[in-house]
Structure 1
Amino acid sequence: MRSVFILALPLLAAGARAADEPGLAYIRKVKAYGVKGAVTADALNNVKGTAFFDVRGVTNGSLRMENGAGILIGAKSGPIMVDTPSVPEWLVAETEVRLLVRAERAEEYGEVRIFLIAAAPQAVVGAAEAIVSSKAAKAVAKAPSKPANIAQRGHRQAARREWVLAPNDVTPIYAQFIRKQNSKLSDREANRIAASVINYSLRYGVDARLVMAILMVESGFDPGATSRSGAMGLGQLMPGTARWMGVRNAYDSVDNLYGCIKLLSVHLRDYRAKGHAEDKVLRLALAAYNAGAGAVRRHGGVPPYRETQRYVVKVLGLYYAFLGA
């Protein structure tokens, strides 16, 4: 991160002239969307409806897919994906950034979709903010002070916290369970898997306990697992499926879980849209995950394959056990 601070020095020294380019342009766009104050990426998990955010964080990398790209930004609950048509050339892993985004969640437990509106290096925006703050301070010094309306301010803060999740409380529990299933994993990797399961489950509106059941059956939480048919990683993604889901490295836990949970959410959504009861939706979605949606369609339900039928029973058995049913 040393290079970030070195880069910031000439920007601060150059004053308004340097900041007036990308820094102030970013600030003006944030203001145009009515966003006040930067937040961490964790705030995106709590959105309900549609909201705009100025996110300050550090990137974990990016994904380039056929129909666009994604930026991974670090959060306590695990990396969060921000959809974008393309990734700025300056944006690489471990870059401190500011992202103006639109976050959408249609239903309380539905998928969170996050779209990039504007991006700039934090060093550039920070320099511009320092100049703006300096000007604002001078203006305030000349103007008469006004008493703060504490009651109204407190009411607004309370309203924004009407629906709050606590994924950080769940992550260590999941990580401990994962380590018990695969003692070869380091604590860091177990926490990385747990955080990604929770984060992507929140994003795509999938029950994380169902994902955990799938991972137990698929790979036993082994990121390096490879089947005889070529399925890869934690969620045992086939090469074609991995490409379809935008997964670049199926043996990377975060990348694999992104594709695994996204695929599961597609199957669940499709079968729910057909009006099936939830227990049937689960059976069909698991069968599609194992044998493919085409096989489910051809057979009008769970295919008569011994492997697939056993798979559905195993996963549902674990899932219902996790539910305490």
Structure 2
Amino acid sequence: MTVAQELESYLKTRDAHKIKSVTPIAALELVVGKRVLEVEGVVVGSVAVDGAQSILLEVEPGRSIVVALGEEHGWLTRGQLRIRAIVAVERESELVTPTYRLLDAAFASTVAKWEARQRALQHAKAQAQAPPQKPAASRPPTRSTSLNSRANSTARPPQRPNPAPDWETFRLNLRLYVPEYAQFIRSRNPRLSQQEADQIAWAILRFSAHYGVDPRFIVAIVLVESGFNPDATSRKGAAGLGQLMPSTARGLGVVDPYDPIQNLHGTVKLVRGHLERYWAQTGDPNGWEHVVLTLAAYNAGSGAVRKHGGVPPYRETQNYVRKVIRVYKQLCGIRE
């Protein structure tokens, strides 16, 4: 089946069940009875019992559901894939675990592109029927104790035309950001396939939302660290997108640092930890001092920052901090 045929089949199944959007995880967990819903997630494993296959679908960091497959969906067991899935959910009562059976599936990136085209058509139609308006400034919102108040607009990309008004809305609409983040990532590493770029973009957005970190900050770090090369290895042994050292990776629970999803989860988790430490130390979550110290600790270690009472006098670390800050400001649309 071609990608176009796969998408057509998926959309027909979605229309047949009158599904308009992905079901939020919180709502998924409240289902009692029989429902057909749309979910999005990453296939992180599979199992076969007596010839019946199932996949483990991670719908958010640290939370997965087991979905039973039919024979026609065996392709989902071939590796880590980010998918949209139409699932039949059954749950007798709130006291029992729900069961999930796959009705149809497609690559998340394929569905996201189709949805983006539909939004573009609707936007063009609306613009043709109404006088043009000055577009609102756009920047992904951040949690109150995160990297906020950076600028009133972001440099393209990453960015999307209609900004979310608050953090929770941003979290619920992460998939809308994926195409532009993926486009930016591929522009920096053209060797990545579209699927790989989509996977990296989704992981950055998902983990950033989960840990309350500005995704543009993570983009800047990964760009400087590895140039978005999942196979990058430094002379000192740092590995993967976020260039995690082996001991650091183990401490973060990263089994395979060359796996983009595992690496980015560890990277964002580590960055969040540093941010919390240094904004508590500086007392100003909206300033730049804790951002600078976070980068210094990411590069040289928090011990070195503590020993020198700030950014260590290492040329590599000082250049690293300046470079990431410069990229981050460019992504935020801040002119120096």
Aligned to 1:205: 212
What are structure 2's unaligned runs of at least 5 residues? 1-19, 32-36, 46-55, 69-75, 78-84, 102-164
Deviations for 1:41-80, whole angstroms, at most 9, x for unmatched residues? 7624xx7xxx964598566227xxxxxxxx8614xxxxx2
Give the conservation status (yes or no) of the 8 Å contact 2:282–2:289.
no
TM-aligned CA distance change 1:241 to 1:196, over 3 Å:
same
Partners in 2 of 1:244 and 1:97 — Cα distance? Answer: 38
The yes-or-no answer on 1:73 pairing with 2:55 is: no
The yes-or-no answer on 1:263 pairing with 2:263 is: no
Pairwise mapping of residues 1-325 of structure 1 onto structure 2 (< 5 A)?
43-44=24-25, 53-54=30-31, 60-61=43-44, 73-74=58-59, 80-82=60-62, 119-123=97-101, 163-165=168-170, 166-277=173-284, 278-325=287-334
Secondary structure at the residue paired with 2:62?
Answer: strand
Secondary structure at the residue paired with 2:283?
Answer: coil
Give the conservation status (yes or no) of the 8 Å contact 1:97–1:120.
no
Secondary structure at the residue paired with 2:24?
Answer: helix
Give the conservation status (yes or no) of the 8 Å contact 1:200–1:258.
yes
Partners in 1 of 2:274 and 2:238 — Cα distance? Answer: 18
Partners in 2 of 1:271 and 1:118 — Cα distance? Answer: 43
Q: How far did residue 122 of structure 1 move?
A: 1.8
Deviations for 1:89-115, whole angstroms, at most 9, x for unmatched residues? x9xx96979799xxxxxxxxxxxxxxx
Q: How far did residue 189 of structure 1 move?
A: 0.2
Secondary structure at the residue paired with 1:184?
Answer: coil
Partners in 2 of 1:56 and 1:81 — Cα distance? Answer: 18
Give the conservation status (yes or no) of the 8 Å contact 1:287–1:296.
yes
Give the conservation status (yes or no) of the 8 Å contact 1:56–1:122.
no
Q: TM-score, normalised by structure 1?
A: 0.57
TM-aligned CA distance change 1:235 to 1:288, over 3 Å:
same
Partners in 1 of 2:328 and 2:308 — Cα distance? Answer: 25
Partners in 1 of 2:327 and 2:261 — Cα distance? Answer: 23
> Equivalent pairs: percent with the same residue?
41
Partners in 2 of 1:56 and 1:193 — Cα distance? Answer: 22
Partners in 1 of 2:97 and 2:296 — Cα distance? Answer: 41
RMSD: 3.6
Letter in 2 for 1:164: T
Q: How far did residue 179 of structure 1 move?
A: 0.7
Partners in 1 of 2:261 and 2:295 — Cα distance? Answer: 21
Q: How far did residue 168 of structure 1 move?
A: 2.0
Partners in 2 of 1:119 and 1:322 — Cα distance? Answer: 43
Give the conservation status (yes or no) of the 8 Å contact 2:90–2:100.
no
Letter in 2 for 1:43: P
Give the conservation status (yes or no) of the 8 Å contact 1:197–1:211.
yes
Secondary structure at the residue paired with 1:274?
Answer: helix
TM-aligned CA distance change 1:60 to 1:279, over 3 Å:
same
Deviations for 1:221-261, whole angstroms, at most 9, x for unmatched residues? 00000000000000000111111111111111111101001
Letter in 2 for 1:60: V
Give the conservation status (yes or no) of the 8 Å contact 1:59–1:97.
no
Deviations for 1:167-218, whole angstroms, at most 9, x for unmatched residues? 2221111111111111111011011101111111100100000001001100
Secondary structure at the residue paired with 1:122?
Answer: strand
Q: How far did residue 120 of structure 1 move?
A: 4.8
Partners in 1 of 2:288 and 2:192 — Cα distance? Answer: 33
